[in-house]
């Protein structure tokens, strides 16, 4: 069964906010790309961690800058390319590490 957002409303909102990060054609394409990133086997460029405060799984690709989160009950929480000017940390790797350490 493919990985999905919890609701169509959440999928629509995330597509509107982040779909252009991945040249997604529509909501379904965005959701498919998110699901693939979050479920494909890890490669040498992709890091994965569990966020202690909610047991969400976080993935970050250090080359493509893709960043995604799966909720502990198996839904896509988000998929985007973080921006240090928005999250305020020196790099996206720092952002990933910070999120993996949130309690």
- pLDDT by residue (tens digit) across 36-56? 999 999 999 999 999 999 999
Question: Per residue in 89-102, pLDDT tens?
Answer: 999 999 999 999 88
pLDDT higher than 80, residue 1: no
Give helix then strand counts, H and E, for the chain. Answer: 4, 4
Percent of the chain with pLDDT over 70: 98
pLDDT at 102: 84
Better-scored residue on pLDDT, 50 or 1: 50
- For the sheet containing 67-70, what is the strand order? 46-51, 56-61, 67-70, 76-80
Sorted by where each starts, the structural domains of the chain and their CATH numbers stand as 8-100 (3.10.450.200)
């Amino acid at each position: 069964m493919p990985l999905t957002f919890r609701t169509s409303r959440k999928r629509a909102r995330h597509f509107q906010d982040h779909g252009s990060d991945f040249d997604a054609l529509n909501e379904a394409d965005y959701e498919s790309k998110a699901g693939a990133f979050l479920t494909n086997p890890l490669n040498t460029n992709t890091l994965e961690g569990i966020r202690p405060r909610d047991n969400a799984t976080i993935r970050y690709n250090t080359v493509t800058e893709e960043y995604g989160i799966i909720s502990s009950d198996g839904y896509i929480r988000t998929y985007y390319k973080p921006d240090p000017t928005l999250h305020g940390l020196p790099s996206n790797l720092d952002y990933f590490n910070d999120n993996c350490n949130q309690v």
